[in-house]
Amino acid sequence: MTITESAETVFPAVPESIGAARRFTRAALGRHAISSETIDIAILLVSELTTNALLHAESAIRVRVRVDEDDVRVEVCDSSPEGPELQHGAWERESGRGMELVSTLAKGWDWSPREDGKVIWFALARD
């Protein structure tokens, strides 16, 4: 992957950070020739991941947006070592659908432990 641009910031563990992460992602992707549909999906998925980080890790949240010729990749890091739980069939429930949305809408996704927690990433085709 040849990185065209990367933007990164850290948000505090407060509910307002979810909206701030959406705005940050929109601004980072808005500087590129990326379809509005791809940007909307990225914003939805970063919202789900930052919500999960806030609810389950209760820690600062680092968001990194990387863009190359073909893909958009968004990483969300928090301090919890626990991996995400993909709950199949969660569509009927009020909560617990975040990782199923990521799995359904992203071109790819994964997570890995880090010394200070974990990183969850998803990739979308640029257009």
CATH code for the domain of 81: 3.30.565.10
Give the SS3 label for residue 9. Answer: strand
Average pLDDT over residues 69-96: 79
Residue 62 or 101, more confident? 62
Banded model confidence at residue 35, pLDDT cuts 50, 70, 90:
very high
The total number of structural domains that make up the chain: 1
The C-alpha atoms of residue 22 and residue 93 are separated, in whole angstroms, by 23
Strands 117-125 and 61-68 come out as unpaired
Model pTM score: 0.89
pLDDT at 85: 78
Q: At which residue do the structure tokens 């968004």 appear?
A: 74
DSSP 53: I
**By residue range, what is the domain housing residue 61?**
3-125
Give the SS3 label for residue 40. Answer: helix
Banded model confidence at residue 87, pLDDT cuts 50, 70, 90:
low
- Asked if residues 61 and 22 have their Cβ atoms less than 8 Å apart, the reply is no
Taking Cα atoms as reference points, which of 75, 73, 104, 71 lies closest to residue 87?
104
